[in-house]
Structure 1
Amino acid sequence: MAVPAGVDQAGRCIELSYVDAVHERRRRPLRDCVTGRFEDVDPVRTFRWSRGERHFPGWYWSATTGRHVGFESWLERDRLLLMDFDPSVVGIGSQPFWLHWHDGERERRHAPDYFVRRADGSAVVVDVRADDRIEPKDAEAFEVTRLLCAQAGWRFERLGVPDAVLLANVRWLSRYRHPRCLHPPAAARLREVFAAPGPLMVGAEAAGDRLATLPVLFHLLWLQELSAEDMAAELLGPHTIVHLTDGVDR
């Protein structure tokens, strides 16, 4: 798809509207926003709950950001959880801005679902939609968003339904994502035990009382200081092989 009529490659006529750090609404040309920290802004849309609604909006506490990040559906929540688990992600903002453009007949706008900052400083604009729920107007908005994000030096991704096994494992580990689950003495023992690969439950018991060590073990798996074999192929269980992640000191 070509860039829409009325929008040129220099970014003129393309604008972003967003909520700034003092909670004021701003609207500026895209070319003036390329260095913006949109992972930190407030959402441009309100997350509303009402009876009979098909969508399930809510707030998810992110271990990456240390604050709540909004979602508008279970699928968005699932993708948010996986982004929170990704060690290359250092910032996540939901509904970060409205992207405005002109299609040659009228002004159009689209609010992407997430703005993600990666550890290397790069940015990714994310829309979440299942493959079988993309209408023609959605496909057009996603493609225009991809083209316009490229002008800003941002990558664009449209994410669908994630792998069910990986999601189930990460969802389980997310219960232990809060830093309160880290007990340094138990963590040190677990790192020593799993310096050599071994079964999850055997290692937990070798490190001490398993009721005390299991929450710490799951927290280290969430942090990816420990790794589990075949996270995308098998559900975590007592016999899952766990080992110290390469590059992590004992």
Structure 2
Amino acid sequence: MRPFRWPPGGRYFPGWYWAATTRQHVGFESWLERDRLVLMDFDPAVVGVASQPFWLHWHDGTRERRHAPDFFVRRADGSAVVVDVRADDCIAPRDAEAFEVTRRACAEAGWGFERVGRPEAVLLANVRWLSRYRHPRCRQHPVAARLMEVFSQPVPLMAGADSAGDRLATLPVLFHLLWRQELSAEGMSVELLGPRTVVRLAGGGAG
């Protein structure tokens, strides 16, 4: 595992993200990595994630090269995926070679490989909002039970929150249930969450 560095005056934005999936901190070295990490934490198919998991060494015909992928992801079905995060317009030939070498090495190990770029802006904004309520302490069981009953049929978000009690108490729990995908909101990838967003019991995803 490659250690993280925080050089003074650096142009990157490293930090730690507390992942609800593992209940541990996971490192990132850019805001784009952080955003992708939040989306992985939101993905119910992901059960584990580690950052900068290993060094990969190879010779490019001229000199020795090495590359540390950004994340190692374990999925609920037992499969593994190595993830590199780089925006589409920021991939130099040297980077493209590193990603291809990593892809081939992962295939030999029986792992998948993904190079991901900037996520869809609206979905990211919604998931980042819900991530504020990802901690298990946001789940108040009596309130959660009332919300699950209220949203057993499709209801606008704020109307349902008010039906379940004082919105100051119900909204944090509602957002936690949306984060957990026990409830789902319509149009998460195309429209920002709002009072009129239709919410229902989850039937398989965020919509």
TM-score by length of 1: 0.80
CA shift, 1:100, in A, is: 1.3
RMSD between aligned alpha carbons?
Answer: 1.0
1:51-66 alignment to 2 at 5 Å?
51=9, 53-66=10-23
Corresponding residue of 1:130: 87
1:187 aligns with 2:141: no
Q: Which has the higher helix share?
A: 2
Describe the superposition over 1:149-185 as per-residue Cα deviations: whole angstroms up to 9, x where unpaired: 1000000000000000000000000000000000000
Paired residues in the alignment total 204
The one-letter amino acid of 1:235's match is L
1:153 aligns with 2:103: no
The one-letter amino acid of 2:77's match is D
TM-score by length of 2: 0.96
The one-letter amino acid of 2:81's match is V
1:195-210 alignment to 2 at 5 Å?
195-210=152-167
CA shift, 1:47, in A, is: 3.2
CA shift, 1:104, in A, is: 3.3
CA shift, 1:103, in A, is: 2.5
Amino-acid identity (%): 75
Cα separation, 1, equivalents of 2:170 and 2:70: 37
Equivalent of residue 102 in structure 1, options 53, 59, 62: 59
Distance 1:237 1:156, change over 3 A: same
- Greater C-alpha radius of gyration: 1
Cα separation, 2, equivalents of 1:217 and 1:206: 12
* Corresponding residue SS for 1:239: coil
Cα separation, 1, equivalents of 2:163 and 2:5: 46
Assess if the C-alpha contact under 8 Å between 1:47 and 1:70 holds in 2. no
CA shift, 1:108, in A, is: 1.6
Cα separation, 1, equivalents of 2:163 and 2:201: 15
CA shift, 1:50, in A, is: 1.8
Assess if the C-alpha contact under 8 Å between 1:49 and 1:56 holds in 2. no
In the alignment, structure 2 segments of 5+ residues that lack a partner are none
Cα separation, 2, equivalents of 1:246 and 1:138: 39
* Corresponding residue SS for 1:61: strand
In the alignment, structure 1 segments of 5+ residues that lack a partner are 1-17, 19-43
Cα separation, 2, equivalents of 1:47 and 1:161: 23
Assess if the C-alpha contact under 8 Å between 1:173 and 1:219 holds in 2. yes
1:30-45 alignment to 2 at 5 Å?
44-45=2-3
Cα separation, 2, equivalents of 1:212 and 1:221: 15
Cα separation, 2, equivalents of 1:133 and 1:232: 24
CA shift, 1:49, in A, is: 4.5
Corresponding residue of 1:28: none
Assess if the C-alpha contact under 8 Å between 1:47 and 1:58 holds in 2. no
1:169 aligns with 2:126: yes
The one-letter amino acid of 2:166's match is D
* Corresponding residue SS for 1:48: coil
